[in-house]
Structure formats: C-alpha cells, structure tokens
Structure 1
Amino acid sequence: MSWAGRRVVDQEVSVRAQRAWWDRAAGDYYTEHGAFLGDRGFVWGPEGWTEAELGLIDPAGMPPGPLLEIGAGAAQCSRWLAGEGAAVVATDLSGGMLAQARAIDRAAEPVPLVQADGSRLPFAAGSFAAVFTAYGVIPFVADSGAVMREAARVLLPGGRLVFATSHPIRWGFPDVPGRAGLTVTQSYFDTTPYAECDDRGQVTYVEHHRTLGERVREVVAAGLELVDLVEPTWPSRNEHEWGGWSPLRGALIPGTAIFVARKPDGRARG
C-alpha cells in the first residue's frame, strides 16, 4: 500500500528517490509547466518574477567568470543567461530532465549540460562567478548544508550563490491553493521531511524543510555572507496556480524565498 506523510529520510535515500522520480516525471512536468517557464526564460518561482526583473545575478557585483546552474531541470534559466551573453553550465541530478533539456536545445540555443549531484559537484574549486538555482536541489536533499559548502567551494572569491526555494512559512499550511490552504495545520518548527512511499515501502519522493533561521545558518556555516533575502510578492498579472501557490495565498503569505549570498574575497567592504 502506498503512503505519504512525514518521516525521516537520509541523504542517500533522498538522492536515489529524487533521481528516479524526476527521471519518470520529466516529460509530464514539462508538459504541465513548460508554457509558464518558457524554453529560454529565467523564472524564479511560481509568482512569475524573472531574472530580467529582479537582477539577482548581477555581473557588476561579481568577478568575471562562467556561471553554474544546479538543479537546472530543462535548463531554461541557463539558456536565457546564455542568450544574454553569459558563459553558463547547467547541471541536474536527473538524466530524464537533461534529456528534456537536450530536446529543447534542438530548437533553441543549446547550453553545456552535466549530470551531477548538487551536493557533490564535479568541478574544481574557484571555477564559477555564480552558482544559482530556481527551486532546484535545495528542498530535495537531506543535507542542504553540503550544497551550500559545495557552492562555496566552486565559487570564485567575490562570487555569488543565489537560490530560490519554498518559503519556510509554507510548511505550516496545507499544500492547496484555495481557502483550505490558509489555515495552519502543522508546526513550522517540525522539520521532519514530507515523503511518499510505494507499496513496498520504498521512498519515491521527498521534500525537506528548514526554518528561516536554519537556512541562514547553513549559508553562514558554508563561509558565505548573506547579502539579501527576497520574499517576492504575488504580481497582479499572474492568475496561474501551481500546486499550493496561487493568487489567493500569494496575497497573504510568501510562497518563495530567494537567498542571495556572496563568497568573501578578502577585501574590506565600505
């Protein structure tokens, strides 16, 4: 009998489950959300704000160098940045998602694709001016602190880590877009993961939660400086619902948190 609920899931099980789930779901995910995301568009989250609007990966504030996307999915964000003239590499744990990216590349500007675990990156230290992800990796791994440390390792001094993930406040509410999703039903402080299991008891999908304070401490523990924490409002132009994200909920509580961090370069900042 299949099952879904809260249970402890370690890093190894999380990685195995996510790779298999996204391999299976890649085509359906693109069919459902591809029009919203675009084939070469950089959308930070279900609210619909784009990198062109928010400017969080700011070349003026970073050293020169290539950019790295982790949890890239079909690499829409990387493809947009490449179109803007950036040198960018897109990575994802799932071969299925990268296959979807290659299918898009046949009709759009291709980007380099690498299959990689975001917590174990196959790149040398100091390789990239920025590491970024829009809802990739961070909520899907048990050891998200390792992701921060890997990002810090591959960043150049002065480089930037920018990641969007579910806003921690959402963990206390049901994951539904209507009024039933406006009442707190579980503790914000309970960080037991949400997991789905098949009829053999094998974990097939998992999401991990951190409080806002825990997420900030992960960034700082990786040796990074927190520059900004963006909590995007829901724009009036967006009438789209995506899971528990909706105009109704977005008008009342934040759905996304975007963390902007910097690797120190040893120079005093005035």
Structure 2
Amino acid sequence: MSEPAEALRRPAAPRETVRANRSWWDDEAAGYYQEHGAFLGDADLVWGPEGLREADARLLGDLAGRRVLEIGAGAGQGSRWVRLQGAKVVASDLSAGMIRQGGAVNDGLAPDHRAPFVQCDGRELPFAAGSFDVIFTAYGVIPFVADPAVVLEEAARVLRPGGRFVFSTTHPIRWAFRDDPGPGGLTATYSYFDRTPYVEQDSDRLATYVEHHRTMGELVRQITDAGLRLVDLIEPEWPDGHEQTWGGWSPLRGRLIPGTAIFVCSLTPDGAA
C-alpha cells in the first residue's frame, strides 16, 4: 500500500472506520504476516509486542473441551494455539485478506493444527446467545472500532454465564505520546483525555486507516455496562533480553511506559455486573 497523503487526529464515524480498516487489513495482510509472523508464530497466542504468551500467562483458563471464539483473529495464530490445547475454536475477522492469509497458513499445517475461519464484524457476531465458554482477542477489534462498547456487548451476548472474555489493546496512556520508538516518544505531547481518533487519509480525505482511543476509566465502565466483571488487568512489563522494535514499541519505551493493557473479564451468572 502507498503512503497515506496525511496522518492526523480527526473524528471518524463507525461506518467510515469499518470501511477504512477492512480495506487496510485486506491490503496489508500478506505484508503484516511476512513482517511479524516469526514473532507471532503460526500456532501461538501472543498478547502484545512485549512478548507475553498465553502459554505462560494462562489468562484464558483451562481450554480442554471449551467452545472458544477469537475475534479480530488476523491469520489465526492464537486460535491454532487454542485448538492445540483441546478446545473447539472459531477464528473470526473483519478482513477477507487476513482470512485468506490464515487459510494459506492452514494449508501448510497438519489438519489438527488448522483453525476454522468466519468473516464477520466483531460488532455484529453471527452466533447465538451463550454459544461460547471463552472469547478472546489480542490487539484485534477494540483499538479499531469507534464503538468498543458494542463489541463488549456482543461478546457478553454470545458468552455463556460464567464464561471468560479476555482482550488486549494499546495501553491508553500511550495516546499521550508520539508513536516513536526512540527518545522522541518519551515526552507526553497530547492530552490523555483527548479521544480524537488517529486517522490516515488519502488525497481525497477518505480515511484509509483509523485507531480510536478510550481512557482506562471508559474501558472499565464499558466492561461493566456490558454485564461483564473485570477479574484482572495486566500491564505487561518489557522483559529483559527482548530487543525487538515493533512500530512505536521498543525496549527504550517499554521499560518506562506501559504499552499494552490486557483486560480479563467474566460474565456474571445473571448477566449483570
């Protein structure tokens, strides 16, 4: 994909956001896999650029025999890992390009390592109420929608009572800093309370990529408003020996500023917080 004509902070409505991000991920799927595939693994669940893996964190609980849904699954790396733990898993993503990339990865693996895919918007899940024991997303959906409360409500709807929903996203404090892995990214430049989205747009001012910001308090309130209970909040530290830079994430910044927030939630038995 060519460079955007402009990157700025401006409003972006839900429909514009969906259109832009579906197109961006369709175009970038193969390149994204080529750039980050080795770090993510073909059958592994990595919660963020810090490298925290579910094999170590165990945030999803016991997966054997569980019905599991991944939203914003990308090429399905996390879903394949979940399947290898004995779960019945479905990988879903908005992007047809990402699903094609996931299918290409599946083709190179043994049948019991593959993940089945469904294309859908995380804001409109095509599943019946109470269909899943566990739902998760690692940097999928939540940063890329204008209305994350709708995603949380949908997750709660298709989750069984007592089920678990775990999602990771850009740590809200990172929005106060430039997306710069070097010293330029260590000075707060923007207001943490400014919710204006980050938008890349073309010469016709049509959005080609959008990310949205919510404060920590807003995300917690949206979790509880959806009928979910916040069980834990993980802010992974940058580990010693991890020297890989990923966009604005780097050892320099990661040892000073949290980059990822992981929200571990459960659906209360009566569906109310």
Find the counterpart in structure 2 of residue 17 from structure 1. 20
Rounded to whole Å, the distance in 2 between the matches of 1:266 and 1:3 is 47
> Which residue of 135, 141, 157 corresponds with 1:137?
141
Q: Does 1:254 align with 2:262?
A: no
**Match status 1:110 vs 2:114:** yes
> Is it true that 1:37 corresponds to 2:29 in the alignment?
no
Residues 1:245 and 2:249 are matched in the alignment? yes
**Could you say if the C-alpha distance between residues 166 and 213 of structure 1 is closer, same or farther in structure 2, counting changes exceeding 3 Å?**
same
Could you say which residue in structure 1 is the equivalent of 2:96? Answer: 95
After TM superposition, the structure 1 = structure 2 runs for residues 147-226 of structure 1, keeping only pairs within 5 Å, are 147-226=151-230
Tell me the distance in 2 between the aligned counterparts of 1:84 and 1:154: 21
**Secondary structure, counterpart of 1:100 in structure 2:** helix
Query: 1:127-178 CA distances to partner (integer Å, 9 max, x unpaired)?
Result: 0001100000000000100000000000000001100000000000010111
Task: Give the gaps of 5 or more residues in structure 1.
Answer: none
Instruction: Indicate the SS of the match to 2:73.
Output: coil
Q: Partners in 2 of 1:147 and 1:266 — Cα distance?
A: 19
The offset of 1:237, in angstroms, is 2.7
Q: C-alpha separation between the residues in 1 aligned to 2:241 and 2:59?
A: 21
Aligned-residue CA RMSD (Å): 1.4
**SS class of match (1:44):** coil
2:56 matched to 1:53? yes
Gaps of 5+ in 2: none
2:74 alignment counterpart: 73
What are the residue-to-residue correspondences of 1:117-136 with 2, within 5 Å?
A: 117-136=121-140
Q: 1:59 offset after TM fit, Å?
A: 2.3
User: Aligned AA for 2:96?
Assistant: G
Amino acid in the other structure paired with 1:149: E
CA distance in 1, matches of 2:176, 2:247: 15
TM-score (norm 1): 0.96
Distance 2:9 2:249 in 1: 21
Moved over 4 A (4+): none
1:93-113 Cα offsets, whole Å, 9 max, x none, are 000000000000011221110
Aligned pair 1:236/2:240, yes or no? yes
**CA separation in 1, counterparts of 2:125 and 2:270?**
24
SS in structure 2 at match of 1:59:
coil
Secondary structure of the residue that 1:34 maps to in structure 2?
A: helix
Q: 1:192 corresponds to which letter in structure 2?
A: T
Partners of 1:224 and 1:145 in 2: CA distance = 11
CA distance in structure 1 between the partners assigned to 2:242 and 2:119 by the alignment: 33
Give 1:266 shift. 4.0
Amino acid in the other structure paired with 2:52: W
Give the paired residue count: 265
Query: Residues 176-227 of structure 1: CA distance to partner in whole angstroms, max 9, x if unpaired?
Result: 1111110001100000000011011111000000000001011011011010
Letter in 2 for 1:7: R
